[in-house]
Every structure is written in structure tokens, then in C-alpha cells.
Amino acid sequence: MEELLQTFLNWNLNGNQGTSSSHNNNNHNNHQHSEPSSHEIFSTSSHNTPLTSTNPSREFPRSNLNTQVPTFVPRSDLYSPSSPNYQSGRNSHHDNDTYILGSSGVNSVLPLRRISLAQAKGLISLLAKDWRGSQFLLEILEKNSTHENVEKIFNEIRYHVIELTMDQYGKDVIQKFLDVCNEEQRTHILAHITANLWNFVEIACSTTGSFVVKKLVQTLETRTQVSSLMVALTVNFVTLVKNERGYHVILECLNRFTVLVNKHIYFETIKYNVDLATNKYGCHVLQQCIRISDGMLKKTLIVDLLEKSLMLAQDLYGNYVIQCILEQEIPHVNSVLAAQFEGRYVHLSMQKCSSHVVEKCLEFFNYIDRSKLILELVLSCHFQQLIQHELGNYVIQVALRVSRGRIRDVLIL
């Protein structure tokens, strides 16, 4: 590490020594110590604070040779006269593409635009956790993703996969790396993320980790890789599905893989279908399972929901599941729903959630069940109230639109 640091320092000091002194003399009087805006270097947001600083407690650990590892120094420290890192007259040397390193009280400016991946050896995992450093790595992976470059990056991030996955900038590097890496490297990353099945759920439910897990789903190719992922997904399935970020991972699997590959997801969904139907995020997964499944699997998903259909129709989220079932236009299923709702249409039509279900019933019921529904509304003593009701009037409008023949005449009269 000492040799690495000395290489960086010599490269910068030798290249800039001549110009540095002249600028110090010429610009010291011309440039007052005006601080640049914070967005030029690092965000001042607490969420975007650099992972390293001049605070001794935040410095990187020392090596066995007792040498200081380079640490990041915010550029504002170089401009503030009160800062111990302040360097008079060096303002003109910094631009938006410089990377500030500090070591043993000596500051060095590393222009990322002019360095190669080889010169960043030993610092790649640190660069990945910094905004400018991550952009440098992303550019290499996008425009120069040769086998040699990909291998160099992999060798330095392979033991920091979890750390980078949970980092706001590191996650972008991991995602891009998954696009260009080979199967062996992708398997290694998957193994690290799924090594602890309980931690996997935490990763998949986190703001940053969910993006990496979704990218894994999009890039996995081999049966072994997919099987490992499925095992991890079903360990704590309900927690994952009920999470605002975790359920996106499940949806990605449903959209990417076949029904056979997703069989464990379907089994878990059937097991907890009523619980998921009444959850803000779980109802999305349940609806997608119903839409893309077929045959006996679809019927199995629906059968338990039919018994609770009246309750679900009035639920804030369950009503969407009932609407989804109606849209499948399965004759015997819609007939069961008609029997469940019969005698309650007026009441359901005047509730916020269930009024949408009644509208779907009018659209997807067969002619007989639709006619019974309309007659129940028309013959009710609350029909006039229903017409003037803020929700019920929409049900009547749909009834007018879908009715035909004599039943429409009855509705108009």
C-alpha cells in the first residue's frame, strides 16, 4: 500500500510541480478563498455524505506497514482557511473531474479523466463508493468492458459485494458489472448475496439492495443460479412480498421466468393468498400470479379467495384482487361471485371500494347474472338515492352503458 500511495503522489507531484508553484504565486492574490458550491464536489445531504472524511474516526484502517491509506478530502476543505487541509493558491488546479486524496497531511489531486484502471489498482472498491469514482468505473464497464478490465474490477470488488450492494453509489457499479461479467463471476456475486438467507431479505427490501437483486433476476441464465435465488426468495416470502421494495423483486421473477421456474412463488402465494390480498403490496403480486397462471394453478389461486369475496370486495386492497378475478372471465367463477353478492348490490354500490367491484360485475357477468344485478338495483327502494349518490351514480352509468334490450328499457323507465 505504501508503494501504491507513493506512485500516486509521485505521479501527481511530478506532473504538476512546475505549474503548481507558478499558480501559487500568480493566483494567490487574485483568488480569494471563495468556497465553491457544495454540489461541485459532494452533496451536503446526509444521505449523500461521502463515506470518508478528514475526521480521524472515519479514516481507513492502517496497513501492516503502519502507513496511512489514502482518504477522501472534501474539496471545500482545500478552500477554507480554517481547515487543516487548506492549501493556498491551488484553487485554479481543481475542476469537476478531480478526485481528492489525502495522506499523512499531504493532499494529492488525482484527475480521473487521465488515469487508467491499472493506476487505480487497490482503490477500486473505494472508488465504487464515491460518486465520481463510481462514474469512472461505470464508464469503463460501459465503453471499455474488455475481459482484462472486467477481471481487474472483479478481483477488487469480489469480497465487498454486500458492502457495495448496500451503498448508494456502489449499487450502480454492481448492477453494471452484472451486465458485462461472465457466468462464473455472476455466480460468485449471487453466492455472496444469498449466503445468509435472512440477510438476503434485508438486502432485497433495502433501497439500494433491491435494485441489485432485480438486476440479478434479469441477468441469471443457468438453472443452478435461478434455483439458488428461488430458495432465498421463499425463506421469508411474506416479509418480502409485503415490503414496498421487496415485492418488486417478486414481480420481476414472475415476469422473467416461466410458471414452472416460479412454482415456489406460486405455492407460497396460494398458502397466504387471503393475507396477501388485503396488503398494499401483496395484492399486486397476487394479481400478477392470477393473470399469468393458467389451468388448475389459476383455479387453485382463486378458490380460497371466492369464499372471502364479500369481505375482499369491501377491502381497500382486496377489491382490486376481486376485480382481477372478474376480468379473467371464467364462467363458473363469475357465477360464484354473483351468488356471493346477490342481495347486497345496493349496499356495495354505495361504498368506495366495492362500488368498483359492482362496475366490473356489470362489465364481465354473463347476460343472466348482469340482468339480475340491474333488476336488483332498479327494484330497490333506494334506487333514487342510488342515482344521486356520489358513488352509486357511477354504477348506474355503467349499467346504462352495458345493458341491452328490455333490461335497458326497465333501467331507463
| pLDDT tens-digit map of 31-70 | 444 444 433 333 333 344 443 344 444 443 433 444 344 4
The closest alpha carbon to 172, from 183, 164, 163, belongs to 164
pLDDT digits 0-9 by tens, 4-21: 434 444 544 444 444 444
- 106 confidence band (pLDDT: 50, 70, 90): very low
Between 97 and 263, whose confidence is greater?
263
pLDDT digits 0-9 by tens, 221-235: 999 999 999 999 988
Q: What is the pLDDT of residue 412?
A: 80
**Cell matching residue 223:** 438453472
Between 353 and 118, whose confidence is greater?
353
281: pLDDT strictly greater than 50? yes
295: pLDDT strictly greater than 80? yes
Backbone φ and ψ for 92, nearest 5 degrees, come out as: -70, -10
Going by C-beta distance under 8 Å and a sequence separation of 6 or more, which residues neighbour residue 380?
346, 386
**Cell matching residue 123:** 482503490
Q: What is the pLDDT of residue 43?
A: 38
- 411 confidence band (pLDDT: 50, 70, 90): confident
Q: What is the pLDDT of residue 117?
A: 83
101: pLDDT strictly greater than 50? no
Backbone φ and ψ for 74, nearest 5 degrees, come out as: -55, 135
- Distance of CA 151 to CAs 113, 164, 221, 325, Å? 21, 17, 20, 50
Percent share of the chain, pLDDT over 90: 63
**For residue 149, what is the DSSP state?**
H
C-alpha 11/C-alpha 119 separation (Å) is: 10
pTM of the model: 0.72
The helix (H) or strand (E) run that includes residue 98 is strand 98-103
DSSP H helical ranges for 47-96: 75-79
First to last CA, the chain: 90
pLDDT digits 0-9 by tens, 300-342: 999 989 999 999 999 999 999 999 999 999 999 999 999 999 9
Which residues of 71-216 form beta strands (DSSP E)?
A: 71-72, 98-103, 106-111
**Cell matching residue 41:** 464536489
- Distance of CA 105 to CAs 6, 57, 120, Å? 14, 15, 21
The closest alpha carbon to 108, from 33, 36, 5, belongs to 5
Q: What is the pLDDT of residue 58?
A: 40
The closest alpha carbon to 254, from 209, 301, 207, 208, belongs to 301
- Amino acid, single-letter form, for residue 292: I
Paired with 110 in beta bridges are 99
Residue 404 three-state SS: coil
Instruction: Write down the residue that cell numbers 474488455 correspond to.
Output: 146
Mean pLDDT of 231-249: 94
Percent share of the chain, pLDDT over 70: 72
Q: What is the pLDDT of residue 98?
A: 42
Q: What is the pLDDT of residue 34?
A: 42
